[in-house]
Amino acid sequence: MLRALLGAILAVSLLAGCTPEPTPDPLEPDSAQVAESLTSAIRLKSEQQFAANFATSTVGVALAEQWYSNLSQFEDVSFTAVSGSGQLQVTWSVPGQSTPSRETLSMQMAKVGGRTLILDRLASSSPPSWLFGRVTVTNVDEGTLIAAETVSESESKAWLKRLKDAVKVVKDAKLGSTVESWDGRLVVELPRTTSEYTELVDVDPTTSSAAAECESGAVHIVVNPASLSAPDPEGQALMAHEAVHAATASPCSKSGAWWATEGLAEWVAQEAYSSAAAQNEALVKNYVAHHGVPAALPADPAAEDRDAIAAAYALSGVVVDVCVDEMGRKDALELVGKLAKGTAPDAEKLAEILGWYQAALQKIAKS
């Protein structure tokens, strides 16, 4: 009898110490359920299943149609619920991108009839282009073009050709180990508006025609909508310049010497397009005529106006050009490439390069 009583007391004690599993709140949105269903729908190519995760409101329907239209053009798309936050992480990739892209979305969700539905997306900083509106994705051997639906067919074709041309230009430049990790492809985006461009690349749209941006460890080239109608060879030279940044992955490190990063890109573009070389020569002559020979190598002119920025790029091209003249193409491009990617510069070598640069500018001043 005593043994039975002690056993009962022990059982009650053990039960009292146990914490029962929490009961799911029947009204709490289940973001994991939504993530699983969205991923399955994309993989099954079922727009109907995808749309079933959104509210039937005007906003919900529009969001479902836009997301499915865009994401179904990408590869390896998946959704993951961010625990306890009401957020969804989207992962996707495109040909020409070395690593997958990821974006965490804050969602407004609600449970309706036992099923969690997406009502709307909350605002976020620096969203990818497919969140702004519908896009058209064109994949070719040389990479991927992502164009907003407002971009005309003729503009898309022109920039797709420039993408292809730029790949060839960079390969022909033979930049050596500087581009050894590049797969020979580019990702180029054509956004709708200058405000969208600014959100994508975080630069002043009044001073840049295009920019190379690091997205999840991969570089995308984003073209300013104000430059969509740029004629060739201007558009070709612009794309070649940004393609060098993509090939060297310089936007993902941002630790290199500015003159080396921009000078290398500018030098490759002007080597390929004589009009770019002539324009830069005129900029350099004008700079020297008004400012004289500078005491230092070119530095980031971020706070300056468009003309000052253009002059700084042209001057950086001069530095690379004199390095090639003095060191030979292979050794010069190897050195400049390393400096562009963040290798610590040798003070003595930098002083020598500065001397070459100043001598070249003095020669230009007398011409």
Q: Which residues contact 124 (CB under 8 A, 6 or more apart)?
A: 103, 104, 105, 106, 131
Q: Which residue among 195, 222, 249 closes a domain? A: 249
How does pLDDT run along the chain (367 residues), one tens digit per residue?
434 433 433 343 333 444 444 444 456 889 999 999 999 999 999 999 999 999 999 999 999 999 999 999 999 999 999 987 789 999 999 987 878 999 999 999 999 988 999 999 998 777 899 999 999 999 999 999 999 999 999 999 999 999 999 999 999 999 999 999 999 999 999 999 999 999 999 888 999 999 999 987 889 999 999 999 999 999 999 999 999 999 999 998 878 899 999 999 999 999 999 999 999 999 999 999 999 999 999 999 877 788 899 999 999 999 999 999 999 999 999 999 999 988 888 899 999 999 999 999 999 888 8
**Residue 26: what pLDDT?**
54
Final residue of a domain: which of 194, 224, 249?
A: 249
Q: How many domains does the chain have?
A: 3
Same domain, yes or no, for 110 and 131?
no
Given a contact cutoff of 8 angstroms between Cβ atoms, the answer to whether 242 and 211 are in contact is yes
| Exposure of 338 in the CB half-sphere (CA atoms within 13 A) | 10
Q: Is residue 17 domain-resident?
A: no
Q: Determine the angle formed by the axes of helices 347-366 and 274-291, rounding to 10 degrees.
A: 90
Q: Say yes or no: 148 and 115 in one domain.
A: no
Claim to verify: residue 319 and residue 221 sit in the same structural domain: no
**What pLDDT score was predicted for residue 84?**
73
Residues 130 and 118 in one domain: no
Range of the domain at 67: 31-124
Beta strands in the chain (DSSP E): 75-82, 87-93, 101-112, 115-121, 135-140, 143-148, 186-190, 210-215, 218-223
Distance of alpha carbon 11 from the chain centroid: 61
User: 3-class SS at 127?
Assistant: coil
Please check whether residue 15 lies inside any domain of the structure.
Answer: no
Q: Are residues 268 and 221 in the same domain?
A: no
